[in-house]
């Protein structure tokens, strides 16, 4: 597309990710279909098990349920549109839809970071103050903590997207990506973009700060664990925390790959698009497997549920 004069702004963008492999682009429909089916079914099982079992209505399992719900939401934000685009080469997206998609994708990323922080804080109180756990982790404190994080995330993402809204997009309307991501959209805008880039840095710093608090929480947890005299309690605590740490590693490792993938020169642009998919899809794909296999209480109920339905079917 031709560039426009700076006083005229494009109102339609074209998401042209993976056009470097145009002959094979329709084939991408197959792996993404598998990913979205697995993600929906696996997370649905976790949601159903936790929602229907009263024994699992404790803060830790409700946080796992939140992770599973988020695993549903994130693929819906962009995967069906990309699959349609890959099959029929329909790449156009309106400016309003693009900015809406951008808002919800980045908000979902911040929300994921908040849930992981909540898990770390919950485990910290459960292991470090087991006798006073109920005093610290109660409905009132949980609502206050959740409300602060929700407002924080909403203000940051609204500020980031709000700085883009008045911009004119006169450079181009081609986005080599499969969804509207902040850096890709801002790079098309005209005028002074300093505030936009600062907002993008803040958006990256937010999960970084969460990660620092999470790391501190687990350092405290493991100090307490290794000073514990009960071998059985120590083993149980380590097993519980290791599941969370695996999920943390998947989430933050994929975010780091995506962040540096767009800032290291020489990386093929299709590979950069893959890294963006990784940080949005990898947690939702892997978390149900991690919690379903490694968390005994969830695994037992899944097995009971499957056996019950197998007997009913027979």
**pLDDT above 90: percentage of residues in the chain:** 34
Distances (CA, A) of 33 to 40, 179, 251, 264, 303: 11, 17, 21, 30, 26
pLDDT at 254: 81
Domain presence at residue 1: no
* Rg of the chain on CA atoms, in Å: 22
d(C-alpha 196, C-alpha 177), whole Å: 19
d(C-alpha 29, C-alpha 22), whole Å: 13
**pLDDT above 70: percentage of residues in the chain:** 93
What is the token pair recorded at 35? 């990913």
pLDDT exceeds 50 at position 143: yes
3-state secondary structure (DSSP) of residue 84: helix
Model pTM above 0.75: yes
Question: For the domain that residue 174 is a member of, what is the CATH number?
Answer: 1.20.1070.10
Other beta carbons within 10 angstroms of residue 1's beta carbon come to: 11
What is the token pair recorded at 275? 């890294």
Domain presence at residue 297: yes
Domain presence at residue 7: no
What is the token pair recorded at 38? 């697995």
Average pLDDT, the chain: 85
pLDDT in tens, 164-179: 999 999 888 999 999 9
Domain count, the chain: 1
> Do the Cβ atoms of 12 and 6 come closer than 8 Å?
no
Domain presence at residue 2: no
pLDDT at 155: 94
What is the token pair recorded at 104? 């919800």
pLDDT exceeds 60 at position 314: no
Domain presence at residue 76: yes
pLDDT exceeds 70 at position 110: yes
Confidence of residue 312 (pLDDT cuts 50, 70, 90): low
Q: Which domain holds residue 133?
A: 12-313
């Amino acid at each position: 597309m031709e560039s426009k004069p700076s006083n005229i702004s494009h109102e339609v963008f074209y998401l042209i990710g993976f056009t470097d492999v145009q002959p094979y682009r329709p084939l991408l429909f197959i792996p993404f279909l598998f990913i979205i089916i697995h993600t929906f079914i696996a997370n649905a099982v976790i949601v159903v098990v936790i929602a229907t079992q009263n024994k699992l209505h404790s803060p830790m399992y409700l946080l796992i349920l939140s992770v599973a719900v988020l695993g549903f939401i994130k693929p819906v934000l962009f995967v069906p549109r990309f699959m349609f685009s890959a099959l029929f080469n329909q790449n156009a997206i309106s400016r309003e839809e693009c900015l809406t998609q951008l808002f919800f994708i980045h908000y979902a990323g911040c929300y994921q970071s908040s849930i992981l922080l909540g898990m770390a804080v919950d485990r910290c109180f459960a292991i470090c103050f087991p006798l006073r756990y109920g005093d610290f982790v109660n409905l009132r404190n949980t609502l206050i903590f959740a409300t602060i994080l929700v407002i924080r995330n909403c203000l940051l993402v609204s500020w980031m997207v709000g700085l883009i809204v008045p911009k004119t997009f006169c450079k181009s309307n081609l986005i080599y990506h499969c969804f509207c991501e902040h850096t890709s959209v801002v790079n098309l805008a005209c005028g002074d973009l300093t505030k936009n880039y600062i907002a993008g840095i803040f958006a990256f710093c937010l999960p970084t700060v969460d990660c620092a608090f999470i790391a501190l929480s687990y350092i405290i947890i493991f100090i307490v664990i290794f000073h514990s005299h009960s071998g059985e309690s120590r083993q149980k605590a380590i097993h519980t925390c290791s599941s969370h740490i695996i999920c943390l590693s998947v989430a933050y490792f994929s975010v780091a790959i995506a962040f540096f993938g767009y800032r290291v020169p020489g990386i093929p642009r299709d590979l950069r698009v893959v890294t963006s998919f990784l940080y949005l899809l990898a947690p939702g794909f892997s978390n149900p497997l991690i919690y379903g296999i490694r968390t005994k209480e969830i695994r037992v109920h899944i097995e009971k549920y499957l056996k019950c339905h197998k007997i009913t079917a027979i």
